[in-house]
Amino acid sequence: MVLSRGWALFLVGVGIWTWVIWPRFAVAIWQDPRSWASGTVADGAATGFLWVHALLIAASLAIGTTVGVLGVRAWFAARRRQAS
């Protein structure tokens, strides 16, 4: 598949956006009393609420990283095509 530089830039932007948004969401989930059995942040056992969101965050960061890397590779491939 051949991607244009515009699409490559879009994919890089999605990867960056993922790393801007999801870590902040992770902090919010960590500080949410529903994440802890005692209702106090970082006290007691983690609840299913925390684990489900942690899995969601990890998967989203992995997908965002993959998309960003593909965008960077497509950008350089487009530059090589343009130079030849």
Q: What is the residue-wise DSSP string for the chain?
A: ----HHHHHHHHHHHHHHHHHHHHHHHHHHT-GGGBTTSSTT-SPBPHHHHHHHHHHHHHHHHHHHHHHHHHHHHHHHHHHHH-
Q: How many domains does the chain have?
A: 1
Above 90 in pLDDT, residue 81?
Answer: no
* Domain with 58 in it: 5-83
pLDDT at residue 2 in the model: 87
pTM reported for the whole predicted model: 0.88
User: Over 80: is that where the pLDDT of 84 sits?
Assistant: no
Q: Which of 49, 50, 56, 31 is nearest to 41 (CA)?
A: 31
